[in-house]
Amino acid sequence: MGMLIAAGLLTTGCSVGVADKAPTPPAIEVSPTPPATGYDGLLGLPLSAYGTSDKDDDQLFAARKALVVNCMKSRGHPSYLGQNMVWVSGGDNEARRPAGAWGYIGLTAAKRQGFHPGQSLPNVAGLTGAEDQDFQACQGAADKELPRLAGTSGWTLTQRLFAQSLQQTKADRRVSAARERWSACMTAAGRPAQDPEILAAGPWETAKPTVDEIAASTAAESCTTSSELAAVYFAVLTGYQRQLVSANATVLVAYRKQVQAQADQVSDLMAKLPAP
């Protein structure tokens, strides 16, 4: 999923708290295969099929930008081209989400970026005065024309189920055992760490990865492989999500139709919009 920066504001998702309900641990293979990258692992999860794709997100942003640009020009800003709106999407899958509760996947990313983001966010010039006021008004006008999934029952359910599956997976004894193996490996490597998510969160506040950070990330990548943490984590998470999808199939199927309908609406809107 991409990230939108407009007028200096970064929009991000938020987690949804869900109480555990003592689920039935799903069966997994004796030696599961880890995903090629962390991003591929997330993208291949059962619940990821019930949401917008990168292509959908790209198209929605393009429609928003076109609406805002046309609106700004109609308000007397002929040179405005959406320069304060930047969408960060795509890129190398290994670099996008190498680190997480699954450990670290990707030696190349570990050596190059450590725990820093794989994609650098560009500097965005903010607007001032009347231009900024008009931009805010145009954003509001775009909101009224664009379809919105956030807040719908299907969207709320997928957020809740995803959060629930993550909690179930974290508490699963097989994942806990793999995480303990990972931690023991990190200690042996001279980089003591109890939890891969906490390690990834840092703080790693330097502009570029330091030698120490790269040493920690490469150790985390090696220990993820030897402990089989990523393989076990994604296998278990997939199992819990399959259970949740099966139990909520009716609402999820209906939501997937809403997602497709939104994509169709955006495509129709783009076809009707005048060139900026």
Tens digit of each residue's pLDDT (9 = 90 or more) over 51-72? 999 899 999 999 999 999 999 9
Tens-digit pLDDT profile for residues 100-142 = 999 999 999 999 999 998 876 667 777 888 999 999 999 999 9
- 164 lies in a domain? yes
Residue 3, Ramachandran bin (φ over 0: left; ψ between -120 and 50: alpha; else beta) = beta
For position 121, what pLDDT does the model report? 65
Domain hosting 143: range is: 3-7+38-272
Over residues 183-198, the mean pLDDT reads 97
- 14 lies in a domain? no
- 30 lies in a domain? no
Q: Which residue has the higher pLDDT, 51 or 1?
A: 51
- 171 lies in a domain? yes
Q: Which residue has the higher pLDDT, 89 or 47?
A: 47
Tens-digit pLDDT profile for residues 157-188 = 999 999 999 999 999 999 999 999 999 999 99
- 93 lies in a domain? yes
For position 21, what pLDDT does the model report? 58
For position 128, what pLDDT does the model report? 84
- 32 lies in a domain? no
For residue 6, pLDDT over 60 is answered with no
Sheet holding 3-6, edge to edge: 9-10, 3-6, 85-88
The alpha helices in 22-128, defined as continuous H runs, are 38-43, 54-74, 93-96, 107-112
Domain count, the chain: 1
1, burial (CB in 10 Å: exposed 0-12, middle 13-18, buried 19+): middle
pTM of the model: 0.85
Over residues 5-11, the mean pLDDT reads 30
- 27 lies in a domain? no
Tens-digit pLDDT profile for residues 204-224 = 989 999 999 999 999 999 999
Over residues 74-87, the mean pLDDT reads 91
In 190-236, at which residue ranges do the beta strands (DSSP E only) sit?
none
Question: Cis omega (within 30 of 0) on the bond before 46?
Answer: no
Host H or E run for residue 264: helix 249-272
